[in-house]
Amino acid sequence: MFVSLFTLSLATSLYAQSGAALDIDVKDQDSIKSVAKTLAGSIVDLYKGDLKEDLIPGLFSSPYYWWEAGAVFGSLVDYSYLTGDSQYDDLLGEGFEHQIGEFDAFMPTNQTKSLGNDDQSTWGLAAMSAAETGFTTKKIGNLSWDVLANNVFESQVARWNEETCDGGLNWQIYQFNNGYTYRNAISTGNFFLLAARLAKFTGNTTYAEWAEKAFDWTEKIGLVSEGYIYDGTDETQNCSEINRIQWSSNNGIYTEAAAHMWNVTTDNKWKNALSGFANSTFRSFVQENILREVACELNGKCNVDQRAYKGIASRSFARAIASAPFLSDLLTPLLEASAKAAAEGCSTKDGTVKCPLKWTTKDDGEYGLGQSFSALAVVQALLVPNAKPLATKSSSNGTSNGSPAADTPAASGSGKPAENEGAADTLVVSRSLVVVIAVLAAALL
């Protein structure tokens, strides 16, 4: 585990609200870009600080897990595309280069200890963003982004687990990791989204079939019910008990995936699913159009991972609107109000930008990567409607070239234990706090 004092001090210090807020006019693309530039710059500064501490490219230091770097890199790729500011492209390419791993599928063996299916797919989705936005770098040699994303997809198809629960993905890839038996909504949800994006990008129906199969399973087992998306279930009970905590990131991921499926199929099934997700999003997470992570913000117990969830949700909502434009009437006001609240909660002091966890009240003094990432994601989400069209495989010159998957280890438990070289220790996201918070969340919903 790497511990950088530099990052820790930024992440855990309590700062009084002071300095200039980031003023934003959510109807003005230049204003939005300018705020996005400030936020991206502050995240890259944090990253460069970690690199100076001899961290391997593509990681942030503890307490940030490997997955979160993937989420941040994905949004910095988006940033380059949405703003035209390509100054970080080489830096990003270098980070990807180091995290692609030995199997060309975002499974570096030195990350084994914190390698869940959801973590791997978070990086796979970042590669998907790179494919869709035409991101180029010499750093990944003759590999192509869609091939990398496909490698992640293929490795997870091979892990689809029908031994119990009639399907779904286990949270963890390796049986020796804590939480292996848990089937969480995000692992299958990220897979659903990756498959849906590959379907749209390539036009290959195999991906769409898997996306639908993944979604159908979540409904069958009750992880998705009447539009609500619940945290997970456990195979030791054949997935008969549902852990009903809700996260905004799940709503974003499932909404985006269903929107792409609507786009690809124009089947009303997806329109109905979207209507249910929109319902649950507004009922569970929104106050006066501003997102809040209700399960942990209200009691002050959001862990490091959970502080990034509203960013994951926001960027997915923006992509969902692009693929299913009828969502705009509902979700654009949500993104605008959330972006305004998030940006105005951020402050610059001595050249450093700090953003609050709570967008509704802006009054907490806890700052870190997840908060800055979420602010960037929601602010630049407002640039999506005016962005140039995304690439597809046929429109993107050359991205169909790339080396095929190198004998990806698919079977759970087949990997060898490796030393933990991750940026933070084993994930306990999904299940930590669950019991305590489930009670609170149930009371609220």
Ligand X SMILES: *[C@@H]1O[C@H](CO)[C@@H](O)[C@H](O)[C@H]1NC(C)=O
Residue ranges that bind ligand X, judged by CB under 6 A: 56, 98, 101-102, 108, 110, 141-142, 150, 154, 165-166, 204, 206, 221, 226-227, 238-239, 263, 266, 272, 275-276, 279, 322-325, 390, 397-398, 403, 421
Give the residue with the Cβ less far from ligand X, 182 or 367: 182
- Residue nearer to ligand X on the CB measure, 203 or 413: 203
Q: How far is the CB of 445 from ligand X (least distance, A)?
A: 14
Nearest to ligand X of 55, 375 (CB atom): 55
The residue (of 92 and 296) whose beta carbon lies closer to ligand X is: 92
Closer residue to ligand X in complex, CB, 278/312: 278
C-beta closer to ligand X: residue 226 or 350: 226
Residue 249 beta carbon to ligand X: minimum distance, rounded to whole angstroms: 20
User: Residue 406 Cβ, how far from ligand X at the closest point, in Å?
Assistant: 10
Beta carbon of residue 98, minimum distance to ligand X (angstroms, whole number): 4
Nearest approach in angstroms of CB 267 to ligand X is 11
**Least separation in angstroms between CB 166 and ligand X:** 4
Q: Which is nearer to ligand X, 104 or 118 (CB)?
A: 104
Picking from 337, 245, 354, the residue whose alpha carbon sits closest to that of residue 291 is: 337
- Smallest gap from Cβ 323 to ligand X, in A, equals 5
